[in-house]
Structure 1
Amino acid sequence: MSRFVETLVASARENSGEQARGLTTGEPEQPRFRTWAEVHAEARRIAGALGHDLGPGRVVAILAADPGVIAPAVQGVWLGGGSVTMLHQPTQRTDLAHWAEDTVRVLKMIGARLVLLGAPFEQLAEVLEENAIVYRNLAELTSGDAEPLPEPVAVGEDATALLQLTSGSTADPKAVRITHGNLYANLQAMITTAELDPARDTAVSWLPLFHDMGMVGCLTVPMAIGMSAVKATPADFLARPLLWPELISRYRATVTAAPNFAYAIVGRRMARADDGAFDLSSLRFTLNGAEPIDPAATQGFIDAGARFGLSPDCMVCAFGMAEATLAVSFAPLGRGLEVDVVDAEALEQRRRAEPVPPDAEHARRFALLGAPLPGLEVDVVDDAGRQLGERQVGRLRIRGAAVTPGYLTVDGPLSTQDEAGWLDTGDEGYVVDEQVVICGRRKDVIIMGGRNIYPVDIERAACQVEGVRAGNAAAVRQDAGSRRERFAVVLESRLAGDVVAEKALCKEVTARIVDAVGVRPSAVVVLQPGSLPKTPSGKLRRAATAALVPAN
């Protein structure tokens, strides 16, 4: 068996007694704890029930919401030698006809033989049948009398373990092919760098399991090393964001992770919470990643958490991507949020990150994201592929054992690496004191008057205005590449629909943006909450957002 599967089996053997560690799901309504040995036993029953539907090269898709159902199903597929694809979940606003069409295209692209269907999506069985998609009900698989799989099916290190979808309902879906060797390499690097110890650490997470941080970082890592984990769902978090610090307090969690927008939301709400509402003193590793990190929002979370015992040193800013399995770099432990303050003019016009004092006029602040994890390299090159020196801004590339070999696309397989093994991340950034800094996505950079303006700077300025929902502003390019290149801002606010209030909000947002980047947006569009186009994992879909800006 692969080294990765060996870790799963070893974790189960070591967690079968009274003091065994395991997985808690069902919070906040019906918490349920199972040891990793019990999860493993259920996984073997699922693998036995699936029988010939599993095996090397077999692709199994999963559509379920409950982490307690997903965990044994995923492990069961791996024990049976297959690979897992977590399908993007429809929401109440999803057009099921379009979802079915997109899902059929994804299943064909990845070559899936089977969909495992679990709560609350059983009602979609009819949609799957209408589209000739073969499925099995997870509840029936676990309640049947099939013999458990006796031994894991042997697979090589190059066998596919996970096909991570990188887009939602778009015209061109794509899946990152993560091998058993990739998973093992990145798991070991994260365990070492984060100093994870199953005997002392407990993770709390609400992240979606169809996203790499949720699946790999917050489920697979604990499962593989036998670390206690508490898993809520994204719906639980969105319904009540303060559930997150409540669970951290209740389970004395030491490890958690989330994207920047969640820290912004919870930081604001904790600032209004009663004294003694939470106890966050147990946290030692609070990872911030998956989207651009806003130092101000992050500091706001740290400051709000101080009243509840949160150590400022526990914040760990990170750089990751599915093409690296998950993690590329972690900021050094025990140092908290560290920020590089640079001159905006040098950054935008000379592509250099020149340091300036924190109170300098028109400064830019970037979170330091740490050095590459063991087994990974990061470098910065110009458009001609020449390596750049420290503080020179260019294209970020990564290379190493955790970098995946390729994508599956609707047009066939596509390599992720060049002939030397480098993967172009699509990000612009630089390196300082061996730490990685991300400036923004290269395709989203707005070029005006010879300046490179990063959308994240515009979006952060907009979100500082009272009435704009935290993390829900998007700057989009207009007339890209032409002399008339401009940008518009689309944001969410509860003031949408109130003509007078909207006008005042747009005026204040415009002023704040001009103050921040020295350029005026062509338009500010205000939408109702929940209207910004996003991927299923919560990232902004800029192309779809641009279509919401009225032509002028």
Structure 2
Amino acid sequence: MHSVALRMAGALRDDVRPGDAVAILAADPGLIAPAVQGVWLSGGSVTMLHQPTPRTDLGHWAQDTLRVLSMIGARLVLLGPPFDQLSGLLSENAIEHRLLAELDGEPPAGPVEVGEDATALLQLTSGSTADPKAVRITHGNLHSNMRGMVTAAELDAERDVAVSWLPLFHDMGMVGCLTVPMAIGMEAVKVTPADFLARPLLWPELISRHRGTVTAAPNFAYAVVGRRMERADEGQFDLSTLRFTLNGAEPIDPAAARAFTDAGARFGLDPDCMVCAFGMAESTLAVSFAPLGCGIEVDTIDAGALEEQRRAVPVDAGEERARRFALLGRPLPGLEVDVVDDAGKRLGEREVGRLRIRGDAVTPGYLTVDGPLATQDEQGWLDTGDEGYLVDGQVVICGRRKDVIIMGGRNIYPVDIERAACEVDGVRPGNAAAVRQEAGTRRERFAVVLESKLADDEAAVKALRKEVAARVVDAVGVRPSAVVVLRPGTLPKTPSGKLRRAATAELVPAD
């Protein structure tokens, strides 16, 4: 791959100057990987453009993509199949572009030298196609976070094999499952998200075939594959080589994660191989990893104290109003995490507040359509936008602060509502969203929007709404103002698969 990257860098010699932003739009990881390295060898920065899906309006996508290219000041766009057909659109808008398949030149004598503060990646954030924003990751940020992950995960290039289907326009796919293996010379097996979505069991098949030791995915993927593996034939997979199975990028449901490890046990999966993690693009990728070999550790706390006192008070798992949160480990080397109240006062252990991060992996700022935007305060702290707490030095995330539903003085977290809804038969796992509704002259309200294969059966939908409402009342003590049932594949999501709550809220009918 490195030899291909060198020839690509040679072909880019006259097109890329040090500091230039280069965008890449392609599907094949085998083309993308050397292209990324080739751009870095040329002294440029990389931006992975979001790929349109079969449900994407191509007209809107094209206009959004042009806004992104303008925002980052893209010097060049590199196109690979199946996006070569967009060449005409770029030409019409006077945007320089090259086809990846044609990048073949004389290798340069060496890489173009750039400083550690130079931009390595411009990582488009979730939802950035609607309101473009890119996290600026420097070479120093990237090196620091990679070093921290290699240490925390105990990665060994001679022993480990990474298997991934994650999108390369998302930080976990791009940094964790491509750049880290590329940097340390570790074997990596990659397919596309479309390959996985078409056949989820391809993932354990690849782990079995290539003796994979390391993999990573959001919680929803473990839920999907766990259910499929429960029905798989005896001996169909060999997961005995997996030692590091990272769960991150979205709220972790301990029950779904355990269902995956339980289903994998009969195929040799070590139940303690799952590592729950906290990360974000603003920290390059990873903030914290749970300890290796400990499996899924859960903190069970009193819901009332959490919602009314903003404290995480431990209770027995059997308590009626118990909440269970995954422990996400201690900060990686080079990073700090603390918790503060709204006035910026640092809080103690098990006190719930705003999570902040600081360290060498934290981005210095964003690029936006209105220009650069700093991310850190005077002391170097970045507000993550999450609510959470610390226990024994480990991070716990309760939810996104902007999504918290406040009712009767209680802070209700959407994830609790969504988990309850997904426990109902007929609701697609991982496809329920709790959204706050504009209160106006009325008290705060929320609705549940979900997907179900029963969406076209009027009687079944009526029963489903009733059961979901009852299950939510049992879980959080409050009834949703509405339960909206949609066909599969219609919940608004970001290109990396996360729920778009603001867009989802617009699907709730007005009173």
Structure 2 length-normalised TM: 0.99
Post-superposition shift, 1:362? 1.0
Amino acid at match of 2:101: A
Q: Does 1:92 align with 2:51?
A: no
1:53–1:114 contact (8 Å) kept in structure 2: yes
Alignment RMSD, CA only? 1.0
Post-superposition shift, 1:80? 0.5
- Equivalence map 1:511-522=2 (5 Å): 511-522=470-481
2:65–2:129 contact (8 Å) kept in structure 1: no
Structure 2 equivalent of residue 113 of structure 1: 75
Post-superposition shift, 1:366? 0.1
1: CA distance, partners of 2:439 / 2:338: 27
Alignment partner of 1:241: what SS? coil
Amino acid at match of 1:462: A
1:255–1:283 contact (8 Å) kept in structure 2: yes
Structure 2 equivalent of residue 174 of structure 1: 133
CA deviation vs aligned residue, 1:500-520 (integer Å, no higher than 9, x gap): 111111111111111111110
Post-superposition shift, 1:129? 2.2
1: CA distance, partners of 2:37 / 2:332: 26
Structure 2 equivalent of residue 26 of structure 1: none
Unaligned runs of 5+ in 1: 1-38
| Distance change in 2, residues 1:222/1:480 (3 Å) | farther
2: CA distance, partners of 1:526 / 1:514: 18
- Equivalence map 1:294-309=2 (5 Å): 294-309=253-268
Structure 1 equivalent of residue 203 of structure 2: 244
Aligned to 1:131, which of 74, 93, 108? 93
Aligned to 1:394, which of 348, 353, 375? 353
Post-superposition shift, 1:480? 5.2
2: CA distance, partners of 1:481 / 1:216: 43
Amino acid at match of 2:38: G
1:58–1:113 contact (8 Å) kept in structure 2: yes
Q: Does 1:54 align with 2:16?
A: yes
Alignment partner of 1:312: what SS? coil
Amino acid at match of 2:423: Q
1: CA distance, partners of 2:175 / 2:203: 19
Corresponding residue pairs, total: 511
Please identify, of 113-122 and 438-447, the stretch whose mean Cα deviation from structure 2 is larger: 113-122
Please identify, of 481-490 and 540-549, the stretch whose mean Cα deviation from structure 2 is larger: 481-490
Q: Does 1:499 align with 2:458?
A: yes
2: CA distance, partners of 1:482 / 1:65: 49
Structure 2 equivalent of residue 458 of structure 1: 417
Alignment partner of 1:502: what SS? helix
2: CA distance, partners of 1:380 / 1:63: 38
2: CA distance, partners of 1:147 / 1:222: 26
CA deviation vs aligned residue, 1:44-99 (integer Å, no higher than 9, x gap): 11111111222221000000010000000000000000000000001222222211
Q: Does 1:264 align with 2:223?
A: yes
Aligned to 1:208, which of 155, 167, 171? 167
1:398–1:423 contact (8 Å) kept in structure 2: yes
Amino acid at match of 1:404: T
Structure 2 equivalent of residue 222 of structure 1: 181
Alignment partner of 1:459: what SS? helix
Alignment partner of 1:52: what SS? coil
Structure 2 equivalent of residue 409 of structure 1: 368
Amino acid at match of 2:315: V
1: CA distance, partners of 2:312 / 2:483: 29
1:181–1:401 contact (8 Å) kept in structure 2: yes
Identity of aligned residues (%): 81
Q: Does 1:330 align with 2:284?
A: no
Aligned to 1:102, which of 59, 64, 67? 64
2:126–2:498 contact (8 Å) kept in structure 1: no
Amino acid at match of 2:281: A
1:88–1:168 contact (8 Å) kept in structure 2: no
2: CA distance, partners of 1:482 / 1:119: 53
Structure 2 equivalent of residue 284 of structure 1: 243
Alignment partner of 1:51: what SS? coil
Please identify, of 439-448 and 55-64, the stretch whose mean Cα deviation from structure 2 is larger: 55-64
Q: Does 1:69 align with 2:31?
A: yes
Q: Does 1:476 align with 2:438?
A: no
- Equivalence map 1:186-205=2 (5 Å): 186-205=145-164
Structure 1 length-normalised TM: 0.91
Alignment partner of 1:361: what SS? coil
1:100–1:131 contact (8 Å) kept in structure 2: no
Amino acid at match of 2:48: M
Amino acid at match of 2:287: V
1:44–1:150 contact (8 Å) kept in structure 2: no
Structure 1 equivalent of residue 444 of structure 2: 485
2:249–2:279 contact (8 Å) kept in structure 1: yes
CA deviation vs aligned residue, 1:413-452 (integer Å, no higher than 9, x gap): 0011001000000000000011000000000000001100
Post-superposition shift, 1:167? 3.3
Structure 1 equivalent of residue 4 of structure 2: 42
Unaligned runs of 5+ in 2: none
Post-superposition shift, 1:367? 0.1
Structure 1 equivalent of residue 102 of structure 2: 140
| Distance change in 2, residues 1:426/1:168 (3 Å) | closer
Runs of 4 or more consecutive aligned structure 1 residues displaced over 3 Å after TM superposition: 167-171, 480-483
1: CA distance, partners of 2:88 / 2:250: 36
- Equivalence map 1:372-387=2 (5 Å): 372-387=331-346
Post-superposition shift, 1:169? 5.9
Amino acid at match of 1:298: A
Structure 1 equivalent of residue 321 of structure 2: 362
2: CA distance, partners of 1:362 / 1:168: 34
CA deviation vs aligned residue, 1:221-280 (integer Å, no higher than 9, x gap): 000001110001100000000110111111111100000000111111111111111111
1:116–1:136 contact (8 Å) kept in structure 2: yes
1:99–1:169 contact (8 Å) kept in structure 2: no
Post-superposition shift, 1:133? 2.2
